Chain A
Amino acid sequence: MGRARKVAMTGGVALSISGLRVDVGTFALRDVSLDVPPGVCTVLMGPTGSGKSLLIESICGLRTPQAGSVYVAGRDVTRLDPAKRCMGYVPQDYALLPFKTVRENLEFALAARRIPRSQWPALADDMLSLLRIEHIADRYPARLSGGERQRVALGRALLIRPDVLLLDEPLCALDETTADEVMEELLRIRRRFDVTTLHICHSMDEALRMGDRLAIMRLGRIVQTGTPQEIFQRPNSLFVARLLRLPTLTVGQIREDGSGRRRFYIGATAVADTSLPPGNAQAVIAPEHMAVSAEQPLSGDGIAVFSARILPDPTALFRPQLRLEGELNLAVPGLYVGRQWRPGTEVFVSFPRAAVHVIADEPFIDGQL
């Protein structure tokens, strides 16, 4: 405890996974390597069944890896008993003890860590007030709302002063308003404890608000890691672009001319050079470089211009974007339908060719994006 507390107060510890292989029946984590620097929150995203929860369980020591290693604060914990690691594990449905009250659930963590009973009331009180759940201290989990259960599970994990906090879809069972509150709460707690965090989520909103870094998983592998900005601008596969539901993802072809120069075409217009092989391909256009205008803009050398028509989009009420149809079929985020741009209006879209990131095509596999 002493060591953990000191570390938690001095900026967290790093989590480092390399070459991890975990077989579970027909599924396996394969060659998973991931570094989470001290105090950083890495958000793990991927479709259902990509192995995110399994990875977290393996980090906790609940699964035995067949190969690879897990280091926490420079210490090899690959073969260490889960009870001897110091992992703050918050599983998907919070897994509170139904036969204990909120306070007893918190004290359970202290008992498990063999903290003297005389210290329990003070430590539990501190955590209850930190999470602002003093008023439910004597309730049983069956009588709590989703957000309250989430806080209790978080408090229980934090009470052991974890080296790493592992959150398995902490907001998935909450309605959006509660999820918003809990997200704020999580950010506040993370600033307070400065704890290294691995956070699984499905929602883009959550990933961008919570994550300092993103790691994308697919079929038991990590396929891309980076800052959210890096991954949003340069997804390394169509899978990642689809998973992130990038609005500017657009279809095209790569063609090679007589001189061997390969270019990505949208319709008849070449928009970018590429080294990918000729054939169908897709591209992501950096939305911040896209311009929409009613007048045809000058198409300079480095600028591509397309005409399109604005489509009606009911979701634009809360997520501003222009859905377009025509030479270009995509959505331009950040623009309000209706104020300046009415559905049906013919517009021109222009963007510098440098803003185009070409991605190789891949077959659409149902369920795995």
Chain B
Amino acid sequence: MTRNPRALPDERSVPSQPSPLLPGTPQRGPSRGRSDLTFLEMGAVTTLFAYTGFLLILLGANAAYLDPANFIEIFRSEDILFALRLSLTTATIASLLSLAVAIPVAYALSRARVPWRPLLDALVDVPIVLPPLVMGVSLLVFFQTPLGRAIEATGARFVYTAAGIVLAQFLVVSPYAVRTVKASLDAIDPRIENVARTLGCSPFQVFWRVTLPMIRSGIVAGAVITWSQAMGLYGPMMVFAGTTRRRTEVLATSVYLELSIGRIQMALAISLLMVMVALIALAVFKRWAGPGRWL
């Protein structure tokens, strides 16, 4: 590159390494000292600590209220361990399924020429608006219709089965996946995809090599939110899949059942287990699928 000698040095081309000319300079980078916090930042940081502090106090209170014996008991209980495994499996499958559907749905809403797009866009959000319990009732009703019965007659059983859990979770959480994926799709500069076309990529290659990598953060966010939602869901499952021990009982249902018979300590122990499992799973997932180096 022909550098004009009078040209100002390009800030971004200067490597952000400590200057060898200034030994001992604190390597603070562009960030300011703590005393420079503005009122806005102070307000925001205060709110952050107050909020997370409240959550920690909440968890701490639960843990304090807990009888350690209960916590040990849940690890000895085959029923609870089964529910844990079922919760993890169904939530993971439901999350993957919802992403598999959300990506094409979001793509169609964001890119394709669809008639009645605003209407379809609103329809996608219906499960968010409805109470999850109602989704369970709707599913139960659906499988009483001729179409529903025909589906069950093929051998694909949903009512009162683990497959039903996945179906209910999928229906409730997929709008969240559509929203996060569509938000990242909408943020892509269409010129990037256009250039790839002119370079010689087919529409499918553009999707695979350009669009998909660029919505990665949206997909990751969608996976996190759908999985967490699916883990915590119990309303529609109780109606549609039942609460049979070692068959269709998931952890969230267990919490509800323990509460309903007054075993609050047991309910809290299971809740705490859910929190721990979720935190570990999300931390591992985010580390594995986190943003690329380019962000």
Contacts and interface: CB of A to CB of B under 8 A. Distances in A.
A142 interface: yes
B195 A89 contact: yes
B189 to A, nearest CB: 6
Given A62-B194, A108-B199, A181-B3, A97 B12 contact: no
Contact of A98 (B11, B196, B209, B294): B294
B210 interface: yes
B214 A98 contact: yes
Interface string A149-170: 0010000100010000000000
Contacts of B145: none
A92 B189 CA distance: 11
Interface in B1-47: 1-4, 6-8, 10-13
Contacts of A96: 192
Interface in A253-281: none
A144 B12 CA distance: 6
B197 interface: yes
Contacts of B189: 93, 95
Contacts of B11: 145
Given A99-B294, A181-B3, 4 more contacts: A95-B192, A145-B11, A177-B7, A181-B1
B104 interface: no
Interface in B160-210: 189, 191-192, 194-202, 205, 209-210
A2 to B, nearest CB: 15
Interface stretch (A5-13, A40-48, A132-140): A132-140
A142 B294 contact: yes
B11 to A, nearest CB: 8
A82 B13 CA distance: 34
Interface of A: 57, 60-62, 82-83, 85, 87-89, 91-93, 95-100, 108-109, 111-114, 131-133, 136, 140-145, 147-148, 151, 156, 160, 177-178, 180-181, 184-185
A54 to B, nearest CB: 12
A87 B198 contact: yes
30 contacts: A60-B194, A60-B198, A61-B198, A62-B198, A83-B197, A85-B198, A92-B191, A93-B189, A95-B191, A97-B196, A97-B213, A98-B214, A98-B295, A99-B213, A99-B294, A109-B199, A109-B200, A112-B199, A112-B205, A113-B200, A132-B1, A141-B294, A142-B294, A145-B11, A147-B1, A148-B1, A160-B199, A160-B200, A181-B1, A181-B4
Interface in B198-234: 198-202, 205, 209-210, 213-214, 216
B200 to A, nearest CB: 4
A91 B191 CA distance: 7
B293 interface: yes
A177 B8 CA distance: 9
A185 B1 contact: yes
A89 B190 CA distance: 14
Interface in B210-263: 210, 213-214, 216
A132 B3 CA distance: 11
B146 interface: no
Contacts of B294: 98-100, 140-142
Contacts of A131: 1
B7 A178 contact: yes
Nearest to B210: A97
A85 B209 CA distance: 20
A99 B215 CA distance: 11
Give the residue among B11, B196, B214, B216 with the most A Cβ atoms within 10 A.
B196
B115 interface: no
B292 interface: yes
